[in-house]
Structure 1
């Protein structure tokens, strides 16, 4: 699986463009905003977007989802259904954080622990990682030892848990069971900031050592 990180919005959220080199089929993960930048990257690589994938439904990760799915005529997969209340609150989130007006949406497919997602000839495993939000999921490409982890874990840090239905103990459990169980050289693509690896976080992250 090939990927390109596209920082979007004033929150510098790492929207990720994934694609299968053989088929040129692509998925867009967490399109929080700045839709023109995302579409430009798709067109530059001459890709066909088949789906939008969401780790969770905070505005900086999901703000452009409804418009982008309509314009590209593609499916929306994720997050877990426990984040439905965040999707329903997207219009209020956009006002609160001064984003362009956005609409809520209903995903084509809610995701569960152990689900699989195909992008061309590539397969991603879904892991449910609540704590930052109750419906947060991550996407694991085992063939390429790559995981898109949203706001669960960052380089030397972890996600916030002071939002509605966030929970610190649940987040730590998710990290221990669903992320640190991956091979140490697995690359982690977080929702903000630089990439890291499982091994680096096991050694250096003060929140989980």
Structure 2
């Protein structure tokens, strides 16, 4: 059981030309860590893991877009080799499998290199609880940006890793063939806002925010 007074450390690492927020999360005592949404630039992520002398327990994916998942395959291979034990890729919901399996094709369309399609070791479902870093990470399915988008909530530190669902002052894009704006807004209202005003929201792009700020000021939620 972790010390309820000890917070986990988080370093946000902007990766890929799209400047996606990859989150490196770790316990300062055990030096065990998670990597959330490694979209690319795995060498940069590995350098930060080494700089903090960390052992990565798992790689978490909020959804299947290439800027969030394009580095997961290579990072899994590198960490497994470095640590001498398998490092699983966990998430998102299986409904994003079509995106994860076409990362290379989509990257080529955008002129991006080094991104590899990935097959997660485990898909997640709404309501799953992941025991990682001595904590319980709650999985919430919040579709609309993509069909299988999930977010990861850590209730002890009151932190939400939101992917591309909720940003400071806006919400994720839904102008994809598989996107759905009303579904995303409903998911934010029914899954994210009830977590509580004190929750820190770490989005997939841009600056952190809080549930309180977005409830009060986000024009999509008024």
TM-score (norm 2): 0.91
Q: Aligned Cα RMSD in Å? A: 1.0
Larger mean CA deviation between 75-84 and 86-95 belongs to 86-95
Query: Are 2:174 and 1:167 aligned?
Result: no
State the distance in 1 between where 2:116 and 2:197 align. 39
Task: Tell me by how many angstroms 1:20 deviates.
Answer: 2.1
State the distance in 1 between where 2:21 and 2:116 align. 21
User: After TM superposition, which residue ranges in structure 1, 4 or more long, deviate above 6 angstroms?
Assistant: none
CA contact (8 A) 1:83 1:134 kept: yes
Match of 1:26 in 2: 33
Question: Which SS does the other structure have where 1:180 is aligned?
Answer: helix
Match of 1:153 in 2: 166
Match of 1:7 in 2: 14
Offset from partner CA, 1:117-173 (integer Å, 9 cap, x none): 122212211100000000000000100111000000100000000113110111011
Cα distance change of structure 1 residues 198 and 191 upon mapping to structure 2, 3 Å threshold: same
CA contact (8 A) 1:95 1:101 kept: no
CA contact (8 A) 1:23 1:121 kept: no
Q: How does 1:78-97 map to 2 (within 5 A)?
A: 78-97=91-110
State the distance in 1 between where 2:111 and 2:40 align. 12
Task: Tell me by how many angstroms 1:52 deviates.
Answer: 0.6
Q: How does 1:28-47 map to 2 (within 5 A)?
A: 28-47=35-54
Match of 1:109 in 2: 122
CA contact (8 A) 2:73 2:117 kept: yes
Task: Tell me by how many angstroms 1:84 deviates.
Answer: 0.3
CA contact (8 A) 2:37 2:62 kept: yes
Question: Which SS does the other structure have where 1:181 is aligned?
Answer: helix
State the distance in 1 between where 2:29 and 2:127 align. 25
State the distance in 2 between where 1:106 and 1:165 align. 20
Structure 1 gaps of 5+ residues are none
CA contact (8 A) 2:70 2:118 kept: no
TM-score (norm 1): 0.97
Question: Which SS does the other structure have where 2:44 is aligned?
Answer: helix
Task: Tell me by how many angstroms 1:75 deviates.
Answer: 0.5
Task: Tell me by how many angstroms 1:34 deviates.
Answer: 1.1
Question: Which SS does the other structure have where 2:58 is aligned?
Answer: strand
Task: Tell me by how many angstroms 1:24 deviates.
Answer: 1.4
Task: Tell me by how many angstroms 1:65 deviates.
Answer: 0.7
Match of 2:211 in 1: 198
Match of 1:53 in 2: 60
CA contact (8 A) 1:20 1:119 kept: no
